[in-house]
Amino acid sequence: MENFKTGALAKYGLDYQSLAAENPALIYCSLTGFGHDGPYKDKAGYDYVIQGMGGLMSVTGQKDGVPGAEPMKVGVAVSDLVTGLYSAVAILAAVIHQSRTGEGQAIDMALFDCQAAALANQATNYLAGGIVPGRLGNAHPNIVPYQVFATTDGHIILAVSNDNQFRRFIKVAGLDALATDPRFSTNAERVAHRQLVVDTLKPVFAQRTSAQWIDDLEKVNVPCGPINRVDQVFSDPQAIARGLTVAMQHTAVGELHLPASPLRLSRTPPEYRNAPPLLGEHSEEVLSGLLGIGPDELASLRKAGVV
């Protein structure tokens, strides 16, 4: 635990050991860009930088040689989000250990570590297969056809993940002749002949609307879907049925619609108590109600500009 002495608590003259000495059951989670050891331990960590350093941008974006080809970040701060999720799992694991032994522990979480772990199949392609993955746009490195195709009025995602699905797909697409073509017979062959497969399918998809394709493919259980804008996501019948938004009363704007928690717990469902507060909205409530600071001291804090 020595590395935690140089962490955030050390700035305030504290360290994990001294706190744990007071409370051996303490669970302390530190979340930094690069962790508490290694040559980058003192570097600042920001999601954008981590997406680049952690390999994500090297596999995101159009492949070299096509218009718009460059490494691309994901549209949301996914490294931050993944690290938060991993941290929650780590804390829960520590809580289980604490409940069994009464012993707390320090948790050292790093954005860089979590982004590397989240490379998933792309990391395995390299570590187990020696293949350095590159950018493939919307295509999949190990499955074909598994990508976006243009239709007469937009785009759809086709996600054919096995050979049975491909055979059902070519019937819907009117490409029965491909059933006997060895270059299309298995996923391995389709990956080996990726460009041929894509070039064959592009003009076929351009003959129907997105809705027609989705309707036809879903009838035979071929995975596919639209590419929704954010407004379309939250107006989707499935989103409405699942209650993916929540309305709350906000101090400044009145009713405010927010993303709902995706957690569905039968015994302890999430509760929505307070809308996002204004800056300092609850300062006095916290200082007096939780910390027991009296009126005179609060007045001094206000005068000093602290509150």
- Rounded to two decimals, the pTM is 0.85
Query: For 172-186, what is the mean pLDDT?
Result: 96
pLDDT tier at 7, thresholds 50, 70, 90: low
**Burial tier of 153 (Cβ tally within 10 Å: 0-12, 13-18, 19+):** exposed
In the chain, what percentage of residues exceed pLDDT 70? 95
Answer whether residue 2 shows pLDDT above 50: no
Q: Please tell me whether the peptide bond between 39 and the residue prior to it is cis, using omega within 30 degrees of 0.
A: no
Per-residue CA distances from 35 to 45, 110, 111, 149 (Å): 10, 5, 8, 41
pLDDT of residue 103: 97
pLDDT digits (tens, 9 = 90+) for 37-64: 999 999 999 999 999 999 999 999 999 9
pLDDT digits (tens, 9 = 90+) for 248-287: 999 999 999 999 999 999 999 999 999 999 998 888 888 8
As a whole number of angstroms, the distance between CA 125 and CA 142 comes to 9
Cite the active site residues.
80
Interstrand relation of 105-110 and 27-32 (parallel, antiparallel or unpaired): parallel
pLDDT digits (tens, 9 = 90+) for 192-220: 999 999 999 999 999 999 999 999 999 99
